Amino acid sequence: MSKVVEFKHHHSTTPTIENRKVLPTPPKYSQVREREYLLPDEVNRIIKAAKNVGRHGHRDMTMVMMSYRHALRVSELVNLKWSQIDLTKGLIHINRVKNGTPSVHPLAGDEIRALRKLQRDYPSTQYLFITERLSPITTRNKRGQSRFK
């Protein structure tokens, strides 16, 4: 934890004209933290926490689960439509952005159950993930939520 504090302090100082000093090179991330990814147990704790927070816990839990398991960018996640989901065969058609290749992924049992509940909760929507006003969630909505940071 002290390395992170040192890293933040490093960026808070600015060179002045009087002493003409240039800041040293910032430390590499490998020096600040041990790894750049989450372990499966950590992700499962995030999924459970998302389910228990707010009025839309099930929707948020499903969003975290789908984004992790299918490596979805935020824009890919919020643009998912029910036409891309085949619940009978257990498949999801993913349209990738940034020159990614579209692909078909299998859905796990808990994902299928979560999606069916989502479909029961919001039966007449085109998008999987919608707001209280029945409009699609935007990338700005999801990035602004502090509980996923």
Question: Residues with Cβ < 8 Å from 67, sequence gap 6 or more?
Answer: 74, 77
Which pLDDT tens digit goes with each residue over 68-92? 999 999 999 999 999 999 999 999 9
Residues of the chain with CATH 1.10.443.10: 40-148
Q: Which CATH number fits domain 40-148: 3.40.50.720, 3.90.1150.10, 1.10.3720.10, 1.10.443.10?
A: 1.10.443.10
**Residue count (the chain):** 149
How far apart are the two ends of the chain, measured CA to CA in Å?
18
> How far is 115 from 109, CA to CA, in rounded Å?
10
Phi, psi (deg, nearest 5) at residue 140: -65, -40
Which pLDDT tens digit goes with each residue over 29-79? 778 888 888 899 999 999 999 999 888 999 999 999 999 999 999 999 999
> How far is 108 from 113, CA to CA, in rounded Å?
9
